[in-house]
């Protein structure tokens, strides 16, 4: 039987009075593109740090490809590549030198062909000889991605990988990450760009206050929690609440609808109440709406 790429059982971690992890249970199958979402302080980075051995959990089991990160740390770490949220780099080396040194940490020599492939896919070839101090923030972040991939780990964890990266470079990065996933790599993504998670992740876990508050396929989460939104700009917006709508700060009255068939009854109620529509929009269910609803319920 194939072991999961990641297995976390009853994970707990406390920093003083703060309970960062309060009994997290997660399994990520090999080959998945998995999303880990949550507001700031939900425990995402603590969970990743515990997986990579940077934080010692108070309790629970953490395994990478069947290797316990505490009792079998060396093998667990070889199977894992982590792109950290912070821009951490050595200012004394060029990009290529840094990747060679990173290879050496894993006992890998003569790795230049793979380094060249990573550099090409991350659009870093022209910067291979540049000192890290000379790179922009977006370039430095791509070098962090390259460092995480240099030992060819089967499991790759991306902690906010596109923060500070412009749109064109972000698209190139995701094209490469998708290719890695198609080639069999397991990808775990944390991001505040929820449209990225919706487009990329097959399954998503949502954390709040150190607990998993939702875990399902992206499709099922959208179906279970999200409603369609009928937004109308009324001649007299102060009547919105009386018509069963909520009024946004921008002056749009919003009706939450479960199905497209509910649009006509909502418009009929508006007509009967004498509400005059100046403008109308129908919004699709999206992950951002799901995320807000799940967090409010939790």
- The full set of domain ranges for the chain reads 6-223, 226-284
Q: What is the pLDDT of residues 171-211, one digit of tens each?
A: 888 888 999 999 999 999 998 888 889 899 999 999 999 99
What per-residue confidence (pLDDT) applies to 125? Answer: 93
Tokens of 267: 């418009």
CA–CA distance from 150 to each of 84, 120, 133 (Å)?
Answer: 15, 13, 20
Q: What is the pLDDT of residues 260-273, one digit of tens each?
A: 777 788 788 777 77
| CATH fold for domain 226-284 | Alpha-Beta Plaits (3.30.70)
Model-level pTM?
0.80
Identify the bridge partners of residue 1 per DSSP, sorted by sequence position: none
What per-residue confidence (pLDDT) applies to 166? Answer: 72
Tell me which residues of the chain have a pLDDT lower than 70: 1, 164-165, 225-228, 238-244, 248-250, 258-259, 283-285, 298
Tokens of 211: 């607990």
Q: Is 258 exposed, middle or buried (0-12, 13-18, 19+ CB in 10 A)?
A: exposed
Sheet holding 211-217, edge to edge: 80-83, 155-159, 186-190, 33-37, 203-208, 211-217
The answer to whether the 6-223 and 226-284 domains have the same CATH topology is no
Compute the C-alpha angle 232/236/237, nearest 5°: 55
What per-residue confidence (pLDDT) applies to 227? Answer: 62
Residue 34: which H helix or E strand, with range? strand 33-37
pLDDT > 90 in the chain, percent: 48
Superfamily of domain 6-223: P-loop containing nucleotide triphosphate hydrolases (3.40.50.300)
């Amino acid at each position: 039987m194939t072991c999961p790429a990641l297995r976390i059982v009853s994970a707990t971690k406390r920093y003083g009075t703060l309970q960062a992890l309060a009994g997290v249970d997660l399994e990520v199958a090999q080959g998945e593109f998995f999303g880990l979402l949550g507001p700031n302080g939900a425990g995402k980075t603590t969970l990743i740090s515990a997986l990579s051995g940077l934080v010692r959990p108070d309790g629970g089991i953490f395994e990478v490809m069947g290797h316990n990160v505490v009792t079998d740390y060396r093998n667990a770490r070889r199977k894992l590549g982590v792109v950290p949220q912070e821009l951490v780099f050595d200012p004394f080396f060029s990009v290529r030198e840094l990747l060679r040194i990173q290879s050496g940490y894993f006992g890998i020599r003569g790795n230049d062909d793979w380094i060249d492939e990573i550099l090409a896919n991350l659009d870093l070839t022209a910067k291979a000889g540049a000192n890290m101090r000379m790179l922009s923030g977006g370039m430095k972040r791509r070098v962090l991605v390259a460092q995480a991939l240099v030992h060819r780990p089967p499991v790759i964890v991306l902690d906010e990988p596109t923060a500070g990266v412009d749109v064109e470079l972000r698209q190139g990065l995701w094209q490469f990450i998708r290719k890695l996933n198609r080639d069999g790599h397991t990808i775990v993504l944390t991001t505040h760009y929820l449209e990225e998670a919706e487009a990329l992740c097959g399954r998503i876990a949502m954390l709040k206050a150190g607990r998993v508050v939702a875990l399902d396929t992206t499709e099922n989460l959208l179906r279970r929690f999200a409603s369609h939104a009928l937004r109308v700009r009324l001649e007299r917006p102060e009547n919105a609440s009386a018509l069963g709508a909520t009024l946004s700060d921008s002056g749009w009255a919003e009706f939450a609808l479960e199905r497209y068939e509910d649009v006509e009854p909502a418009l009929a109620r508006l007509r009967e109440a004498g509400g005059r529509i100046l403008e109308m929009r129908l919004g699709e269910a999206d992950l951002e709406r799901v995320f807000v609803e799940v967090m409010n319920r939790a």
